Amino acid sequence: MYAIVDIAGQQFKVSEGQQIFVHRLDAEEGSSVSFDKVLMIDNDGKINVGAPVLEGANVDAKVVEHMKGDKVIVFKKKRRKGYQKSNGHRQYLSKILIESIKA
């Protein structure tokens, strides 16, 4: 059984027991969160598609930890002009564990 759910503006294909990284959530570590924007559920070949979301369906998850992603280097250069600019950032992420999918 899997579901396609909208979490923080991004769509994820999730199943029970799976751990995923999403944009930082406003929840404490160890707390439970529930997502109700479920777009599709596949229950052993029986597919339910929402228009745009399924009514009464939700995905329960637990926030495992908050962390920062890998560093992304942004390097800009214009040839023959002597211009070089280096910049970088690390994205704030939340690691969540999918506990249950309810249709």
- Does the pLDDT of residue 103 top 90, yes or no? no
Which of the pair, 103 or 64, is modelled with greater confidence? 64
Task: Kindly indicate the confidence band of residue 65, based on its pLDDT and cuts at 50, 70 and 90.
Answer: very high
| Whole-number pLDDT of residue 35 | 95
Amino acid at 68: K
Write down the domain spans for the chain: 2-102
> Span 3-25, mean pLDDT?
96
In the chain, pLDDT over 90 holds for what percent of residues?
95
What's the burial of 74, exposed, middle or buried (CB within 10 Å: 0-12/13-18/19+)?
exposed
For the entire predicted model, the pTM comes to 0.83
> Span 30-34, mean pLDDT?
96
